[in-house]
Amino acid sequence: MRTFGLRTAAIVGRHEEIRRLDALLAAAGAGQGGGLVLRGPAGIGKSTLLDHAAATADGFQIIRAAGAQFEKEMPFAGLHQLCVPLLGRLETLLGAHRDALRVAFGLAEGTPELFRVGLATLGLLVSAARDRPLLCVIDDAQWVDSASIGALAFLARRLACEPIAVLFGARTPGPAGGLDELPGLTITGIGDTDARTLLSTGTHLTLDEQIRDRLIAEARGNPLALLELPRAGGFALPEGTSVQSRLERVFADRAAGLPDAARLLLTVASADPTGDPGLLWPAARLLDLDLSAAATAATATGLIDFSNRVRFCHPLARSALYLAADPGGRRTAHSVLARATDPVTDPDRRAWHRSQACAGPDDEVAAELERSALRAQARGGVAAAAAFLERAAALSLDPADRSGRTLRAVSALLDAGSTDTAADLLATAGNAEFDERGHALRDQLRGRIAFVRPDDDNGPMFMLRAAQRLAVRDPAEARECLLEALEMSLLVGRGTGMMERVLAAAPPGHPPDVLDALRLLTTRGHHAAAPRLHEVLRDGQLRSRRPALAAMLAAELWDPDSYAAIVDWVMKTGRESGSPLMLRLGLALGVTHAVLTGDLGSAIAATAEEEALADATGGSPVFYHRLHLAAMRGRPREAHQLFATATAAAHRTGQLIANVHWSAAMLHNGLVDYPAALTAARQAVAQGGLSMAGFALPELVEAAMRCDEPDTAAAALESLTARAAAAGTATGLGVAAYARGLVTGVEEHYREAVDRLADSPLLAYRARAHLLYGEWLRRQGRRRHSREHLRTAHELLSGAGFQAYARRAADELRATGETARRRGPTYDQLTMQELTVARLVATGATTNEVAARLFLSPRTVDAHLRNVFRKLGITSRRQLRSNPELGV
């Protein structure tokens, strides 16, 4: 336990909390690590408990970091602070991981692959833990920068097989960042009996009973308040103030009687979040103070300790002393810290101190902050870039510079996911400061904000207005703005009427042009538009600029080959560029394609990789590909749970709800629950828009015919036939043919479907053509002929793992007098992550390579692999490579 300041008193009344800490350390010592977040208000005892864990972690290495209120926007500052003792081990990491950490910590130039920083940190900690177990202690996590919190939360979720424990202390109320998904322990006030014990052991003051009772009532179980309020010479502060406010007042009062030099030294120390004596003393010397006398007086208060690190007795003391200083004193402190900070090795912290030292606008400092913003963005610190730009805007004399920096700050905030903060900052920008291009950019930003707010329908209006402002000066950029508006509206499920508005505002383009093709689609239908749409897809430019929109067009045309090419291109580009957004899009599109082609192994593996990538980057969950996978696997309980989660998310975030309805229609048709399928298919067609409505039409035809609604089925068939005939692909024509067979009952239509789909890569539709034909033949009393098609359907469906449709085919075969062989993929008993590990190992990947791909530790990969061997009844990696069902 520390021997400094407030933490010398014995821990009182914390038996359950200590039990949890001891259990975490014991598990980590046995190689089963994890994380724990201690949450509670200021002074409640979180830091004391963290110190207790460090003091009792026998045999552990201990590394520590603490958030600082004034460093919250410095990207990866907290992570760097924690890892400083381990930097000598950087050379043990894979090259890409080593480079990612060096760039993130400002030790090298470049742009790190942000989603690798967490895994690289995990690798660094695992390397250190090879010698002995490791305890990481992060106090005041509410003030640690968001980039570091994301990386630390990421690694804390991946320690189940490692001798590493990570402890966080986070103040409430306050933002917890990415810590919400970690196990937590709420620290509350101690009881009156324990409070009396603490008062008697933790202070040397004699208190009569009445004062002691009043003090216990005032402290509300807060241990720091119990220890500190008596030292203040009284405790009856104004009613209604919080315990935190009272404690801050106590700390400020303790320094109030110090000489000016000592108070100024405390202000400089409180303004430096690093606690580095190598920075504090050079800065203080610039003030021409008697440093020995000032340090002696400051130390005598018990507020601060000047040793190998500059430490305050409590984080509240640091913030209280900083806020208690007059503005001139704070500016002086930041000024000398800026002058003492190396402009080469730490230019961003120097720029930040310079900005805080400004009493008014300063274009030179604003320009320096803008350069820091560029560096922060290159290192993935979009939140820091926004903070630098916002401060730069405030210090800008020129109105054009001020407005431009404000808009760039808003854009960075949106990239960081801080929608509300971005909206607030944008609202402060005055109209007079913008030229026409600035007005257009502001409207674009307003549109982006509105699109991600489910209760704001103004996104299309703002985006269209931005395009109108750009139309004369820059028609090409105006068209890009319109394309962005269209793609965003379709992706978030607000495409109703949007396409018509975009096309009406679009200036003429040069063929092949997607907007012109879409204009034909809306005005003259699929027959006129299909050739142009095919041309757009063949050109490839749309794929590189708007890959999500390109994928929608390929689906609209029932063109699996173009869709597969788009998926391949997006995946390759995402992996080569290191862009997590591009790679996640490619994986999600790839899952849908793999599901329809019957490669559920690939679909499951890609889903696991996309989820790992989302977790690594802190991205919002994407549901549509998981819905498609759940529907075709035919597991109703799992599917309905996912449908409910996705529906709630769709209503909250505006994600496309039609995906839920289409997936539900596919699932219920497989389960022979045709009324539920009919309801879902109707909703999917009504809300589907581009691509999704067309995919839902065959589901609607089948469900309507089974529910004896021939008029509904006929109308859906007419639309499906028009789309398929215009597209001209064998897949589309084959699907339309079996839908026509359902409506007409004509055998030739079923035969046509089987023939056209014979070479289609979309196994799901090829198998259903055989299933529907076999069902029709059986109902005609032609059992012998039906068995051939039902057998083929069952083999395809069961082999792919489409359980609901396979059971349907098996039931039909049983009705003909034949029992279907029960079969399914051998990998069906594996979890999603186990299957992904197995598939990667089957390609020859090493444990370390698999760990890097899935953002896991090598020990976790080996644990999954042991489970795979046990479940599949094999003993070697070579047997995995020879398993054809793994699809590699």
- Three-state SS annotation for 300-363: HCCCEEECCCEEECCHHHHHHHHHHCCHHHHHHHHHHHHHHCCCCCCHHHHHHHHHHCCCCCCH
**What's the CATH fold of domain 831-886?**
Arc Repressor Mutant, subunit A (1.10.10)
Give how far the C-alpha of residue 598 lies from the chain's centroid of Cα atoms, to the nearest Å: 29
DSSP line for 356-397: HT-SS--HHHHHHHHHHHHHHHHTT-HHHHHHHHHHHHHT--
Token pair listed for 748:
């030739």
Cα–Cα distance list, 487 to 332, 495, 514 (Å):
51, 9, 12
Q: What are phi and psi of 377, to 5 degrees?
A: -65, -40
pLDDT given at position 9: 47
**Selection from 223, 312, 310 nearest residue 44 by Cα:** 223
Q: For 276, which DSSP code?
A: -
Q: What are phi and psi of 556, to 5 degrees?
A: -60, -35
Alpha carbons 99 and 88: distance in angstroms, whole number: 14
Alpha carbons 643 and 600: distance in angstroms, whole number: 19
Alpha carbons 685 and 711: distance in angstroms, whole number: 15
CB atoms within 10 A of CB 332: 19
Alpha carbons 482 and 545: distance in angstroms, whole number: 13
**Selection from 563, 570, 606 nearest residue 731 by Cα:** 563
Alpha carbons 586 and 576: distance in angstroms, whole number: 12
Q: Which residues pair with 134 in a beta bridge?
A: 61, 164
* pTM of this structure: 0.73
Strand 164-171 with 134-139, pairing: parallel
794, 670 contact by CB (below 8 A): no
Token pair listed for 344:
């080469």
Cα–Cα distance list, 163 to 154, 855, 860 (Å):
16, 17, 12
Q: What are phi and psi of 34, to 5 degrees?
A: 175, -175
- pLDDT averaged per 10 residues in sequence order, the chain, 888 residues: 43 90 95 93 90 94 86 80 91 82 78 70 91 94 85 87 94 72 89 80 60 72 75 45 72 89 94 86 92 93 88 82 91 95 88 92 94 79 79 89 89 76 81 77 88 73 87 83 81 65 77 86 92 92 89 94 94 79 88 93 88 74 84 90 83 69 95 97 88 92 97 97 96 97 97 96 96 96 94 93 93 91 73 87 86 83 90 85 67
Residues in the chain: 888
* Element spanning 257, H or E: none
Which residue type sits at 871? K
First to last CA, the chain: 55
| Cis bond upstream, residue 112 (ω within 30) | no
Token pair listed for 837:
């590990």
727, 521 contact by CB (below 8 A): no
Alpha carbons 467 and 440: distance in angstroms, whole number: 7
**Selection from 71, 318, 23 nearest residue 183 by Cα:** 23
Alpha carbons 374 and 377: distance in angstroms, whole number: 5
Q: What angle do the packed helices 347-356 and 363-378 form, to 10 degrees? A: 140
pLDDT given at position 82: 93
Using a 10 angstrom Cβ sphere, with 0-12 exposed, 13-18 middle and 19 or more buried, the burial of residue 160 is middle
DSSP line for 74-108: STTHHHHHHHGGGGGGGGGS-HHHHHHHHHHTTSS
158, 191 contact by CB (below 8 A): no
Alpha carbons 725 and 140: distance in angstroms, whole number: 64
Tokens 């709630």 map to which residue?
A: 648
Tokens 């690093």 map to which residue?
A: 274
**Selection from 587, 638, 591, 655 nearest residue 616 by Cα:** 587
Tokens 């993130």 map to which residue?
A: 104
Alpha carbons 264 and 258: distance in angstroms, whole number: 10
Dmax over CA atoms of the chain, in Å, equals 106
Alpha carbons 426 and 430: distance in angstroms, whole number: 9
166, 197 contact by CB (below 8 A): no
Which residue type sits at 526? H
Question: In CATH, what class is 5-186?
Answer: alpha beta
DSSP line for 775-815: HHHHHTT-HHHHHHHHHHHHHHHHHHT-HHHHHHHHHHHHH
SS3 722: helix
Alpha carbons 732 and 275: distance in angstroms, whole number: 67
Alpha carbons 552 and 491: distance in angstroms, whole number: 10
Strand 304-306 with 184-186, pairing: unpaired
Alpha carbons 399 and 388: distance in angstroms, whole number: 17
pLDDT given at position 243: 64
pLDDT given at position 223: 83
Alpha carbons 207 and 506: distance in angstroms, whole number: 80
pLDDT given at position 726: 96
Q: What are phi and psi of 40, to 5 degrees?
A: 170, 170
Token pair listed for 638:
């799992």
Alpha carbons 141 and 39: distance in angstroms, whole number: 10
CB atoms within 10 A of CB 640: 13
Alpha carbons 574 and 113: distance in angstroms, whole number: 11
Structural domain spans, the chain: 5-186, 255-354, 435-507, 540-621, 831-886
Alpha carbons 514 and 227: distance in angstroms, whole number: 70
Which residue type sits at 107? L
